Amino acid sequence: MLLYRTELLIKIERVFLAKIFTFKGKTIEELQAMSIEDFAKLLPSRQRRTLVRRGMTPLEKKLLERMRKKNVALKTHAREMIILPEMVGRRFLVHTGKEWFQVDIKVEMLGHRLGEFALSRKKVMHSAPGVAATRGSKFLPLK
């Protein structure tokens, strides 16, 4: 009877344990210990080509240097920057073309680009037609 209860408790503990995030079988600690070239090998081909073959742009290199020096939210126009493991837990203000959008980097965002999380277009909200919008609007009563 006692053995059955301990087995039951072990099964219950397994259900309630937090799931550990892995990226292609690697934990976040292992990813942060990797070089950028090793991390790029785990990425899809488009991101891999950007990081390894073409290299980072001067704007992206400058952003990484500033990020390593300061522990504050950094403003950036580098929407095409690929999110690296060393950026996890940091906060960036990404420019959308009009305003700065706050992006908190999480482990699930690895390999994506900063611009994917700062939308530059807003949903179009149509309302009632305005005065002189159509010929039929001249019959609408004014408010």
CATH number, position 50: 3.30.860.10
- The arithmetic mean of pLDDT across residues 4-31, rounded, is 75
Look at residue 29 and tell me if it is in a domain: yes
Q: What is the mean pLDDT of the chain?
A: 85
pLDDT-derived band at 122, boundaries 50, 70, 90: confident
E strands in the chain: 22-23, 26-27, 74-76, 91-95, 100-104
Among left, alpha and beta (phi > 0; psi -120 to 50; other), residue 139 is alpha
pLDDT tier, 123 (very low <50, low <70, confident <90, very high otherwise): confident
pLDDT grade, residue 10 (50/70/90)?
low
Domain presence at residue 20:
yes
Residue 129 within a domain? no
Amino acid at 100: W
d(CA 122, CA 72): 27
Task: Give helix then strand counts, H and E, for the chain.
Answer: 5, 5
How many Å apart are CA 78 and CA 67, to the nearest integer?
13
Q: Residue 21 pLDDT more than 60?
A: yes
Residue 136's pLDDT is 64
- Residue 134 within any structural domain of the chain: no
Distance CA 34, CA 20 (A): 19
| Highest averaged pLDDT of the listed ranges 27-31, 53-57, 89-93 | 89-93
Q: Which amino acid is at 14?
A: R
The pLDDT-based confidence of 58 (bands split at 50, 70, 90) is very high
CA distance 81 to 114: 6
Residue 72's pLDDT band, with cuts at 50, 70 and 90, is: very high
Q: Which of 9-13, 18-22, 31-35 has the lowest mean pLDDT?
A: 9-13
Residue 66 lies in a domain: yes
Residue 71 lies in a domain: yes
Top pLDDT among 118 and 131 is at 118
Number of domains in the chain: 1
Whether residue 87 lies inside any domain: the answer is yes
Q: What is the helix, strand, coil percentage profile of the chain, to 5?
A: 45, 15, 45
Give the domain range for residue 20. Answer: 2-124
Report the percentage of the chain scoring pLDDT > 70: 76
Is it the case that residue 121 has pLDDT exceeding 60? yes
Does 140 map to a domain? Answer: no
